[in-house]
Structure 1
Amino acid sequence: MFILFFGTRPGKTRESHLPGVSCPFCSQTGQLKARIQPRYIHIFWIPVYRLSPSELIQCGHCKKAYSKGDCSHEMQEALKKLKNE
């Protein structure tokens, strides 16, 4: 008999402040924080395939959170820079 352990796991979270970007809801500049966390398919806890990462931007002032579809153009550009780092 053979037991196979597989599933999905989160990867290492990367966080970064977005200093020149303002929040569309409260218009505060420098309060946005981006968070990117990849997910992996694993077999025996060894990552095999990377799935699309979860992306979230949250304002430190009003606490409003934005997913990728809700982001302004400035926020999307800042996310692209964070992904490429």
Structure 2
Amino acid sequence: MNKWYRLGEKSSEKYSDKELYKFLNENNYVNSLNCEGKDFKERDYKKMCSMIGAEEEIENKHYTHGERKYYFYWGFDSRKEK
């Protein structure tokens, strides 16, 4: 998988669903009433890596709209199921 998926996995080891929601809400990543959510950016990756103490990965991939967030949630949820 890609770096966003792995970041989601590592985040789930440190944060609960409620803590993740709080972070996303405080940083305006939660969809509003008119369903306008925004995707993560590379600067968010660096910030989130430093928050959990994860080593940043370098990846040469172009993501389409919403793809970073999708992979992150997928990785976050995959650890919860185990």
| TM-score, shorter chain, exceeding 0.5 | no
Higher relative contact order (CA 8 A, sep 6+): 2
Q: Of Structure 1 and Structure 2, which has the larger fraction of its residues in strand?
A: 1
Q: Of Structure 1 and Structure 2, which has the larger fraction of its residues in helix?
A: 2
Normalised by the length of structure 1, the TM-score is 0.29
Larger Rg: 1
